[in-house]
A and B are shown apart, each in its own frame.
Chain A
Amino acid sequence: MNEEAGALEIDLRGSVGNFSLDVALRATADRPTVIVGPNGAGKTTLLLMILGAHRPRAGYVRRAGVPLYDAEARVDVPIEHRRVGFLPQRYALFPHLDVRANVAYGIRAATRAERSRLAGQALEHLGIGALAPRRSTDLSGGEAQRVALARALANQPAALLLDEPLAALDAAVRADTRALVAERVRALGVPTIIVTHARADAAAFGGEIIVIEGGRVSQRGRLDELVANPASAFIRRFAVNGEGPG
């Protein structure tokens, strides 16, 4: 494992709406860390704090031991220097750029031609090379999702945050996409945090599941541990029945 793949250590306190967020976790490169929780529990806010788009009140974010944010040491690395990839729930493809330009946006290469070539390659990796010249506004949900994933991966991030990566997809494409995301994330080999509300996602991505309720961690462990010993009504519903589609 190279130095870039160093673990993401997080201990953050801040405010989300009416309640406070207080979450500590450690995401390693070997398996994705899955975050689940009811709506409004602070999952997306937590991702935005790790990303640097939302400022926590206290705590720290470290990658491979190096602080990206540290309230006490007054460290707050700007988003663009954190090298943390982000796949938002609704993908946020740049509507004025075609698919290839979307993927090329985050590629660090000397020339435009080189960036374009690498973007094409990144699309090929996800089996969507044919989409390259398409407008990013007329893609299907599954296509847009793959393009957004290709864009995030092509940037070669040192950590990856996925916010409900499958929630906006039809049931028909969800299973395929889930397998693809899990496979690519494993291949990338960097600490990855996935927010989801579907039990099937949590099962497919493996790793540790961290349950956040009301801004706090209510339980953490593997899925079978959650099933065996649910600590709250939400976890019982999630672990036993699998809340949400999936």
Chain B
Amino acid sequence: MTRAESELAGTHPHERRGSPEFEGSANEQPAGDRGEGVAIARDVRYRLREPVTWQTEAGRRRIRLTALAWSAAGGLLAGSLLLLIVLPVAGLLFSSSPRQILRGLGDPLVWPAIRLTVLTSTASLLLVVVTGTPLAWVLARRPRPGRALRLAETIIGLPVVLPPAVAGVALLLALGRRGLLGPALEVAGIGLPFTKAAVVLAQSFVAAPFYVQAAVAAFRRLDPELVVVARALGAGPPRVFFTVGVPLSWPDLAGGAALCWARALGEFGATLMFAGNLVGRTQTLPLAIYTALESDLQTAQSLSVVLVAVSVALLFGLRGRARP
């Protein structure tokens, strides 16, 4: 209630108290003044502003026109955004015949890139799931997270806002031959840059948040009472994690994993910087598309169609798993 309305309510209640129209609601609303105040305020508002009403022909036309204008404007805006996404995908799929697209897949770049991409993105996914699930569990299960946990949650979100190219440079400066850990790694006989391991690290770096954040959200939705009961029945924290936490969060964990995998599949910038673009060793599908674009647009298109197909399959898999 605005101040004006409450002042109104304060000046008038005595006139209204006991009038028949308010007796019916007296039981539900012991503070009768408030109910009367609202009723009066409603009357006042009608007097202050001529309402657009369905009762007159002009009013009906105005209501219909307004509704039409709003839906037209909304439809136009929403439609143009959808078009922005649909048009390029359509161009990708329909600017060449299926035969041409198949022929494009005959390029020698193609199969090593597909093989490498499947291998590295799966390895990245495994790495993220194995390390990220316990992290998510710890982040989600603490009712009052300390400073360290809040910091960890911020850190895990960092790759989402970090440009992939920056991530690549950062990885190089940390793990490259002349990076922070370079000398130590050299002593250990490990050379990371420009290897498959570098591809996996770059993909994990950029894709991890997609899984971990989904897993944290999933574990937070878990009914804490189930955890308490499981422990009261004698289950220690590891058993609770494996027999209650993971099975009940499974659909959301799978959804996060699919997103994470999709992000790893498409990783380009960080991989290029940190792992390079070596055919058969570090050239994943997105890098092969980039390379092919310089010589043969057809191959680039065919590779892109392969990635789109996989991404769309993942997207529909995700929606199928979505909670009701």
Contacts and interface: CB of A to CB of B under 8 A. Distances in A.
Contacts of A152: 233
A54 B175 CA distance: 44
A80 B232 CA distance: 5
Contacts of A90: 225
Give chain A's interface residue range (CB within 8 Å of chain B).
20 to 34
Interface string B212-251: 0000000000010110111111111000000110011000
A183 to B, nearest CB: 22
A141 interface: no
A155 B225 contact: no
Contacts of B233: 80, 85, 105-106, 151-152, 155
Given A95-B248, A96-B247, A96-B248, A51 B225 contact: no
Interface in A17-64: 48, 51-53
A234 interface: no
A80 B234 contact: yes
Contact of A105 (B223, B228, B235, B236): B235
Contact of A94 (B228, B232, B236, B244): B244
A223 to B, nearest CB: 29
A48 B228 contact: yes
Nearest to B223: A92
A53 B228 contact: yes
A84 B230 contact: no
Nearest to A79: B231
A51 B226 contact: no
A83 to B, nearest CB: 8
A105 B232 CA distance: 11
| Majority secondary structure of chain B interface residues (helix, strand, loop or mixed) | helix
Nearest to B229: A92
Interface in A188-246: none
A84 B234 CA distance: 9
A88 B226 CA distance: 9
A82 B232 CA distance: 8
B234 A106 contact: yes
Interface residues of B, number: 16
A69 interface: no
Contacts of A92: 223, 225-226, 228-229
Nearest to B236: A80
A133 interface: no
Contacts of A105: 230, 233, 235, 243
B228 A79 contact: yes
Interface string B117-143: 000000000000000000000000000
B232 A51 contact: yes
Contact of B232 (A79, A95, A96): A79
A2 B103 CA distance: 82
A96 B223 CA distance: 13
A84 B236 CA distance: 14
B229 A80 contact: no
Nearest to A96: B247
B228 A80 contact: no
Contacts of A95: 248
Given A94-B244, A96-B247, A96-B248, A88 B234 contact: no
Report which residue of A83, A94, A96 has the largest number of chain B beta carbons within 10 angstroms of its beta carbon: A94
Interface in A131-153: 151-152
B247 A88 contact: no
Residue with the highest number of chain A CB atoms closer than 10 Å, among B225, B231, B232, B247: B232
Contacts of B248: 94-96
Contacts of B231: 52-53, 78-80
Contact of B234 (A53, A94, A96, A108): A108
Interface in A80-112: 80, 82-86, 88, 90, 92, 94-96, 105-106, 108
Nearest to B232: A86
A55 B236 CA distance: 17
A95 B250 CA distance: 13
A157 B229 CA distance: 12
Contacts of B228: 48, 51, 53, 79, 86, 88, 92
B230 A85 contact: no
Given A92-B223, A92-B226, A85 B236 contact: no
A80 B231 CA distance: 5
Contacts of B243: 105
A80 B223 CA distance: 18
8 contacts: A48-B228, A53-B232, A80-B236, A90-B225, A92-B228, A94-B244, A96-B248, A105-B230
Given A80-B235, A88-B229, A94-B248, 12 more contacts: A53-B231, A78-B236, A79-B228, A80-B231, A80-B232, A80-B233, A80-B234, A86-B229, A88-B225, A92-B223, A108-B234, A157-B232
